[in-house]
Amino acid sequence: MKMFKKICFVLLMTIFLSSCSTTSSTPSSVYGGSCFKKPTDVDDCRKKAGQGDPNAQVILGWLYEEGQGVRKDYKQAVKWYRKAADQGDGLAQYTLGLMYKNGQGVRKDYKQAVKWFRKSAEQRYKGAQYNLGDMYYRGQGVRKDYKQAVRWFRKSAEQGVVRSQIFLGVVYIWGQGVPKDYVMAHMYLNIAAVSGDKTAIKSRDSIEKKMTSSQIAEAQELARKWMRRH
């Protein structure tokens, strides 16, 4: 039992630390247009951004965030992300949420992070859905609410976010926002393990020791059905 609890603790710490990453979709992989044919063409992007093009505002924010073609400047990144976010751009809303969550270019503010994650999550941006679930799980910027955390983890898990799949495994192990259920925990960890995630594999193998062979078989069948649907 002590070893099992230790593994669960390591599992939680792994996904907690990974959730602090600011990694997001590179705007040039999402948007098209002349501004993005040469991402380091800052002048062209700045011109279009100044004219109010939200796509150009996002890419200009990204250039400042990453220091591509300009000196890295988080405050300028936030400025341009905000302009696009205010126009309803989901990627900008997600990235602005990350900036608030991590205190980059702005004072760390979990309530603002939740605000922007929610706007983006409602547009089905999977990274925002995961982060919103994470905020509910930890009670950062919102009252801790495991049911809401599960809701958003499930939405992003269905879009292939491995960390959400792992988190769902965790909540089913401990009965957080859902009934304690090793079969469901195994199912989600097994789904995450398909990606090769070592934490998911180790955790899945650990809970198998607490399950019967029929429970394992049931979990495996549920995982196969889930993956065919999603």
Q: Pick one of 3.30.70.260, 1.25.40.10, 3.20.20.70, 2.40.70.10 as the CATH number of 31-123.
A: 1.25.40.10
Q: CA 102, CA 109: separation in Å to the nearest integer?
A: 8
- Over residues 12-60, the pLDDT tens digits come to 445 544 554 434 455 544 444 556 666 568 888 999 999 999 999 999 9
- Over residues 182-218, the pLDDT tens digits come to 999 999 999 999 999 999 999 999 999 999 999 999 9
Helix (H, G, I), strand (E, B) or coil at 14: helix
Helix (H, G, I), strand (E, B) or coil at 184: helix
Quote the pLDDT of residue 11.
54
Q: Are 11 and 166 in contact (CB under 8 A)?
A: yes
Q: Are 14 and 7 in contact (CB under 8 A)?
A: no
Whether residue 2 is predicted with pLDDT greater than 60 in this model: the reply is no
Task: Return the percent helix, strand and coil in the chain, to nearest 5.
Answer: 70, 0, 30
Percent of the chain with pLDDT over 90: 80
Chain position carrying tokens 């097994």? 190
> What tokens does 18 get?
């990974």
How does residue 147 score in pLDDT terms, banded at 50, 70 and 90?
very high
**Mean pLDDT, the chain, whole residue set:** 88
- Over residues 116-133, the pLDDT tens digits come to 999 999 999 999 999 999
Domain ranges in the chain are 31-123
Tell me the pTM: 0.85
Q: CA 79, CA 75: separation in Å to the nearest integer?
A: 6
How does residue 10 score in pLDDT terms, banded at 50, 70 and 90?
very low
> What tokens does 169 get?
């495994």
Q: Are 97 and 122 in contact (CB under 8 A)?
A: no
- Over residues 74-120, the pLDDT tens digits come to 999 999 999 999 999 999 999 999 999 999 999 999 999 999 999 99
